[in-house]
Each structure stands twice: as C-alpha cells, then as structure tokens.
Amino acid sequence: MNGLTHVLTQVLVALFQVAAVAVGGPLLLGLMRKVRSRLEGRAGAPIHQPLLDLRKLFAKQRMRPRDSSWVFGAGPVVLVATVVAVTAVSPLVSASPPLGQSSDFFAVVFVLLLGSVLLALSALDTGTAFGGMGSSRSMTIGALCEPALLVAILAMAIAARTSNLPALVRVGISHPAVIASPARILALASFLVVILAESGRLPVDNPSTHLELTMIHEAMVLEYSGADLGLIILGESMRLVFLLGLFVNLFVPWGVADRPGVLFVGLGLLALVAKVCAVGATIAVFEVFTAKLRLFRLPELLAGGFVLALLGALTAVVR
C-alpha cells in the first residue's frame, strides 16, 4: 500500500509541475512584456494577455503549405512533448521528482534539443526562403551553444560528483559552499548565456521583431497558424520557464520541496514562482537597455560563455 501511495504521489507531483510550467510559461512572457512596457513609458497589455492569445489561436483553423509533409505538423507537437517530458522528471517544485534517478542533466539537454531540431526541420519542410534562413541561423546558434552548455554541465557535475539533476539540487541545499564555489558560479553564468541564446532573447534575437534581415525564430514559424502556432508559442514559453527554473534551483535551491507533502510542494511552487519571476523581470530590464547583436558578433558572445564554462570546469578539477 505504501508503494502504491508513493507512486501516486510521484505522478501527482509530475502533473503538478507540468501544469505549473504550462500556465506559468505564457504568464512569464506577459510579465516580461509588462516590465518592458513600463520601462519604455507604455501601459502595455495585461500579464495574462498571452493566455488570451493562445485561446484565440487554438480556436482557429490550421493552415499548412500544400507541399509540406508530416514533418511540418510534427514540429509543434514534438516541441511541446519534449518540454513536458523533461518537466515531469526535473526538480522544479520538488527535489524528488518521479524518475529522478534517471533525470540526468545531459539527457535532459538532449531531449530538449530534439524539439529544437525537429522545429528547424519543419521550417525547412515548407520550402520557403524565410524557413531555410531561420533554420540555418537557429542551428548555427545551437551548434555554438552546445559546447558551452556541455562544459557547464561538466563543471557542475565535477564539483558535485554527479550529473543527476535532483542530486545537484540536493547537494546545493545540504552544502551551500558548493553553490558559492567558483566552479558553480562560472558554470551557471555560462548556462544563463545559453538560456538567452536558446530562447531567442536579446541580445541574440529580438522576439518582438519581424524584420526579415534580423529575425531568427520568427522566420521559422512564419508558415504556422492556428493551433500549430499556439503549440509553438506554448512550447517556447514552457521551455523558457523550465530553463529558468533549473537555473534558479541550481543557483538558489532553497524553497524546493525536499520532503513529501502537499504543504511542502505548495511552498516549493511559491518559491519557484518568486525566483523565476525575479529572474524574468531582470532579463526584461536588461533587454530594455541592450540591443540585438549583429549576426556575425554572436560567436563572440557564445565563445565567452564557453570560456566561462571551461574556467568553471578547470576550477572544479583543480579544487
């Protein structure tokens, strides 16, 4: 009976985390837009406006290019499915998620990349110039981000003696000195650079522009409409919340539920919301006072992230 109760609790925690990320993703976008609007002297749309936009998109008819294949329709679905899969097994609200023993940081990154790659393939499937341009730029940025991300994970894994995500969070809770170590700080700084690049935020990409010479992510989704476009917006917002949730829990793990119980899980959710909102608002403030980098300057930024990760790994080895 205790085993069945434990399984049911784990399933409920997974569903709770997925629901929180699914609702929190659009709300975080609304919060970031609201902060930017206020700093720019505008009233801006309400924070829940992205949820209203998603409801409108899901009620519209799908329109797909005539010569596209099943890859075009699979892109949005796989994007959302990969985020849901990694959210269910990652330590966002609870430090002991279901299948936590198999929640390896390297595996989580690989699953997320599957969604990005298939979305790029679906943009190529349309046969349009914009789709090809956006896919090429997106995969170039992904190829530049991957070394920095992998070395950053390696730096954190060396310091904590594991690459298991729940274990990394629990080590931070029980041994605060690990969080304050140069290896963890440098690795998380590199991780933050990768998050900005992978989520298409400034200074890598401007999510609010449709200028064909500069857009990256928007070029890949120009052919999507209706529920397909809604799935892409939902998946991208969920991925942003997921990555920021991992970042704040690895940097400030306090508040994550480290024991079973509705009260502790609820407190973990409140702590996650507060930390992610704080980081999201900080990113929005940063975006107001920065400009998009020119495309050929992006390797310099991502190379800087790789250097930070490499320094973190070397520091962890020497230590």
Beta-carbon contacts of 256 under 8 Å, excluding residues fewer than 6 positions away, are 91, 92, 93, 94, 95, 169, 173, 249, 268, 271, 272
Residue 162 contacts residue 168 (beta carbons within 8 Å) = yes
Q: Is the pLDDT of residue 34 over 70?
A: yes
Average pLDDT in the 47-53 region? 95
Q: 182-199, pLDDT tens digit by residue? A: 899 999 999 999 999 988
Q: Is the pLDDT of residue 212 over 70?
A: no
CA distance 3 to 71: 41
pLDDT of residue 230: 95
Q: Smallest Cα–Cα separation from 240: which of 98, 57, 96, 32?
A: 32
Average pLDDT in the 146-161 region? 90
pLDDT of residue 1: 42
Domain that holds residue 283: 2-318
CA distance 275 to 269: 10
Split at pLDDT 50, 70, 90, the class of 105 is very high
Q: Is the pLDDT of residue 57 over 90?
A: yes
Average pLDDT in the 70-77 region? 92
Q: Is the pLDDT of residue 236 over 50?
A: yes
pTM: 0.94
Split at pLDDT 50, 70, 90, the class of 211 is low
Domains in the chain, number: 1
Split at pLDDT 50, 70, 90, the class of 59 is very high
- Radius of gyration for the alpha carbons in the chain, expressed in angstroms and rounded: 19
Q: Smallest Cα–Cα separation from 14: which of 98, 92, 80, 79?
A: 98
Average pLDDT in the 18-39 region? 95
Q: Is the pLDDT of residue 28 over 90?
A: yes
State the sign of the Cα–Cα–Cα–Cα dihedral 278, 280, 283, 287. negative
CA distance 183 to 124: 39
Beta-carbon contacts of 52 under 8 Å, excluding residues fewer than 6 positions away, are none
Query: What are the residue ranges of helices labelled H in 64-104?
Result: 70-88
Residue 227 contacts residue 62 (beta carbons within 8 Å) = yes
pLDDT of residue 213: 60
CB atoms within 10 A of CB 210: 10
Residue 222 contacts residue 125 (beta carbons within 8 Å) = no
pLDDT of residue 2: 63
Average pLDDT in the 81-86 region? 96
Average pLDDT in the 70-84 region? 94
Q: Is the pLDDT of residue 162 over 80?
A: yes
